[in-house]
């Protein structure tokens, strides 16, 4: 079965400190994995995606994520948080054997001055 | 480009009423999706389509129906609205399954 688990519902960091948002996936097939961001009252915007090429993926706004098959993880990181990063972040997967784009429950990131 | 367009943006329904949420994309994408978003629950897949004439159930299809008669349009039908269907609904499309999905701006539906 295909599923996505985001391990933290809320993460709070200070501006200028590192960000780590955790995502684990479950899939019987090689997945494609995505991170999306949603700002208040907006639709979702793609941050980055993994589709079986390089395991370290760089995205927009300084975010990156590393695909670790042995840990079934795809954690999102950023070296230095900015106030504008405050938003909700969603991890998503599509598996080769399925056509469904499935999302995790989301992680709300708060950034404090 | 318009991208993915959803109408209406807001709607209040009474229990038992029916309505159709419209979704149109102008990117010639094969895949289209309907999600509902509830606080703390993320996005739950309602229905999806891999091309015109082909639809399939997602995670939470009960109480909804869809059709895909053209590549561009993927309407979502609520036949007998219930308070549990109060949510924000998002439509999305992608060229194929492993490519970026583009989202509409959402429809906020309240059933009273």
CATH number at residue A48: 2.60.40.10
Decide if A25 is inside a domain.
yes
Q: In which band, very low, low, confident or very high, does the pLDDT at B64 lie, cut at 50, 70 and 90?
A: very high
Decide if A71 is inside a domain.
yes
Count: domains in chain B:
1
Instruction: Locate the DSSP E strands across chain B.
Output: 4-7, 10-13, 19-25, 31-38, 42-51, 54-57, 64-66, 76-78, 87-94, 102-103, 107-111
| Structural domain of B44 | 4-111
pLDDT above 90 for B40: no
Chain A interface, mutation test: which of B43, B56, B103, B107, most A Cβ atoms within 10 Å? B43
- What's the pLDDT tens digit per position in A55-113? 899 999 999 999 999 999 999 999 999 999 999 999 999 876 667 888 999 999 999 99
The per-residue pLDDT for B100 is 85
CB contact under 8 A, B42 and A106: yes
Mean pLDDT of B71-76: 98
- Tokens describing residue B90: 């998002």
Task: Report the CATH number that the domain containing residue B49 is assigned in CATH.
Answer: 2.60.40.10
Decide if A61 is inside a domain.
yes
Count: domains in chain A:
1
* CA B55 – CA B30 distance, rounded (Å): 11
Decide if A46 is inside a domain.
yes
């Amino acid at each position: 079965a295909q599923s996505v688990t985001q391990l933290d519902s809320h993460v709070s960091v200070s501006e200028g400190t590192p960000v780590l948002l955790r995502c684990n996936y479950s899939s019987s097939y090689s997945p494609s994995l995505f991170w999306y961001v949603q700002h208040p009252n907006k639709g979702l915007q793609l941050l980055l995606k993994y589709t079986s090429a390089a395991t370290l993926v760089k995205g927009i706004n300084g975010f990156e994520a590393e695909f670790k098959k042995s840990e079934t993880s795809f954690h999102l990181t950023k070296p230095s948080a900015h106030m504008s990063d405050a938003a909700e972040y969603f991890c998503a997967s599509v598996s080769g054997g399925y056509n469904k784009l499935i999302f995790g429950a989301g992680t709300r990131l708060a950034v404090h001055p | 480009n318009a991208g993915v367009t959803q109408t209406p943006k807001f709607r209040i329904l009474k229990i038992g009423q029916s309505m159709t949420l419209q979704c149109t994309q102008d990117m010639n994408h094969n895949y289209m999706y309907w999600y509902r978003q509830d606080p703390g629950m993320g996005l739950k897949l309602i229905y999806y389509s891999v091309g015109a004439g082909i639809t399939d159930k997602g995670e939470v299809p009960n109480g909804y129906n869809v059709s895909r008669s053209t590549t561009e349009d993927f309407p979502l039908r609520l036949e007998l609205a219930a308070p549990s269907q109060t949510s924000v609904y998002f439509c999305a499309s992608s060229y194929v399954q492993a490519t970026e999905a583009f989202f509409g701006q959402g429809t906020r539906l309240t059933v009273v």
